[in-house]
Amino acid sequence: MANQFLALSLFIMLLSFFIVINALSNFEEVKARPVLNSISLAFSSKNIADETAPSFEETNEQHFNDGDAIDQVEALFKAQITGHKVTKNSLGTVMHIRLPLRSFERGVGAANEVGKNPEKARRGAGGFFLTTLVSLLQARNTGIPYRMEMLLNMPRNPAQAYNKNPKLVNEALQKVSGYAEQLEAAGLPRKLMSAGLSEGKDGYIDLYFRRYVAFNPLGDENNNGESGE
């Protein structure tokens, strides 16, 4: 029993020694890198130095660029627009947002301000939202541009509604075209947006976001994969 107590005491003293040493030690990445490289050379065929070094300190730039454009657009709508509903496809490459028309107008500016005073609409409450949305769709941070499709909902099929009340359909078309003009005035190219009408819940607008694919009339084999625009 005495030998067992002595061995246990020595073990506790040794454990306490390492705990104290660990508490007093400081981590230095410069000194840790050679050790990681040595472990990589011994147990792996791939050198860890060839890869991007792990980040031990979060920066604002890294945090701002987290996620792709879809994730960033979704975060923008959650922060700035109320009453919207977001759905994505199984691959996460297409996002659908349905939101009240009034909320959307507060973001991009009312359609009737586009022709009268576009600069006033741009400086309104939705100025930050509009400029940020345009920046995300142009992929200034992600490198992959996205296209936005705007479909203004009508209580019935637009084609059938036009046969009975052309004025009502023309007014709706003029309104959704005004949103497109407002986005274009803020710097969004026409190729990254489209506008139209659809049958759906009245007073709401549907937005679809998907990766922009340039139309290539010559095909990929004739121009080595370059865009046709």
- Asked whether the beta carbons of 197 and 176 are under 8 A apart, the reply is yes
Residue range 103-124, pLDDT digits in tens: 898 888 654 444 445 454 444 4
The answer to whether 114 and 126 are in contact (CB under 8 A) is no
pLDDT band at 52 (very low <50, low <70, confident <90, very high): very low
Q: Strand, helix or coil at 16?
A: helix
DSSP state of 50: G
b/e code 129-156 from CB counts within 10 Å (16+ = b): bbebbbbbbbbeebeebbbbebbbbbee
Asked if 158 and 169 touch (Cβ cutoff 8 Å), the reply is yes
Tokens of residue 111, six digits: 């359609």
Instruction: Indicate the length of the chain as a whole number.
Output: 229
pLDDT, tens only, 198-215? 999 899 999 999 998 876
Task: Record the pTM.
Answer: 0.60
